């Protein structure tokens, strides 16, 4: 074989070899990232524990704030137990009999309307433009950003309210994995702000 031909063949193999090595260097971590179960999306409406509150500590019309934690990815950084949201929980009616795991399970199968006769859970995110809603001195809730006010049942407190709807409720139930602890879990969601109807971000609006 001619020396010139040899040189070309060698260069061709060298370029191919280097290309393969660089592809592996870039591609293998990407494939591993995709395969790693920590980076797969969880089920959409899974219930999440509410930290910081126990049903035993509640009294009528005395809201408590709880924290929702979950794994969260920010670029290449994985946070295994980050705060993803906060909720206001209000006892709005008498506590049902939850003295046995069977009674807890039966309560959880009742409709959300029935469960809300006992407790209502609201996201702390203001439906006006997304600030965080606090307690107010009048006994309800108020948003510090543009002065939206809400009653304890989540309704808008005044007609001249910048929020176009009341506070957004979240579906909840009692954590059956530890019925004696009497903690709650919620289906945490984010909602579209500044519209009249409650719409979940990323979900088709109900017809
Ligand atoms: S964001 Fe709450 S009143 Fe505007």
Per-residue model confidence as pLDDT tens digits over 87-96: 999 999 999 9
Q: Is residue 70 over pLDDT 50?
A: yes
**Interval 134-155 mean pLDDT:** 96
CB 68 within 8 A of CB 50: yes
Q: Label residue 196 by pLDDT band (50, 70, 90).
A: very high
- For atom 4 of ligand 1, the residue with the nearest CA is 146
Q: Is residue 10 over pLDDT 70?
A: no
pLDDT at 29: 56
pLDDT at 119: 97
Q: Is residue 15 over pLDDT 90?
A: no
Within 10 Å of residue 156's Cβ, how many Cβ atoms? Answer: 19
Task: Work out which ligand 1 atom sits closest to the CA atom of 146.
Answer: 3
Q: Is residue 34 over pLDDT 60?
A: no
**Interval 97-124 mean pLDDT:** 96
CB 69 within 8 A of CB 81: yes
User: How far is ligand 1, taken at its centre, from the CA of residue 14, in Å?
Assistant: 62
CB 186 within 8 A of CB 121: yes
Q: Pick from 125, 133, 136, 143 the residue to mutate for probing ligand 1's pocket: most ligand atoms within 8 Å of its CB.
A: 143
Q: Label residue 39 by pLDDT band (50, 70, 90).
A: very low
Q: What is the CA angle 93-89-108, rounded to 5?
A: 65
Q: Label residue 74 by pLDDT band (50, 70, 90).
A: confident
pTM to 2 decimal places? 0.77
User: How far is ligand 1, taken at its centre, from the CA of residue 207, in Å?
Assistant: 27
Q: In terms of pLDDT, which residue wins out, 36 or 89?
A: 89
Q: Is residue 1 over pLDDT 60?
A: no
């Amino acid at each position: 074989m001619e020396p010139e031909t040899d040189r070309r063949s060698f260069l061709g193999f060298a370029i191919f070899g280097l290309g393969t090595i660089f592809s592996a260097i870039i591609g293998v971590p990407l494939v591993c990232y995709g395969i790693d179960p920590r980076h797969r999306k969880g089920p959409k409406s899974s219930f999440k524990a509410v930290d910081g509150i126990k049903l035993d500590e509640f009294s009528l019309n005395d809201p408590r704030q709880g924290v929702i934690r979950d794994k969260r990815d920010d670029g290449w950084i994985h946070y295994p137990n980050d705060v993803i949201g906060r909720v206001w929980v209000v006892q709005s009616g008498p506590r049902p009999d939850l003295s046995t795991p069977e009674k807890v399970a039966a309560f959880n199968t009742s409709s959300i309307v029935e469960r809300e006769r006992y407790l209502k859970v609201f996201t702390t995110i203001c439906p006006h433009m997304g600030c965080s809603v606090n307690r107010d001195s009048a006994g309800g809730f108020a948003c510090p950003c543009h002065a939206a006010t809400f009653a304890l049942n989540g309704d808008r407190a005044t007609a001249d309210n910048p929020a176009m709807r009341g506070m957004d409720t979240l579906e909840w139930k009692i954590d059956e994995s530890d019925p004696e602890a009497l903690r709650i879990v919620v289906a945490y969601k984010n909602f579209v702000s500044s519209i009249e109807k409650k719409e979940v971000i990323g979900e088709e609006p109900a017809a």
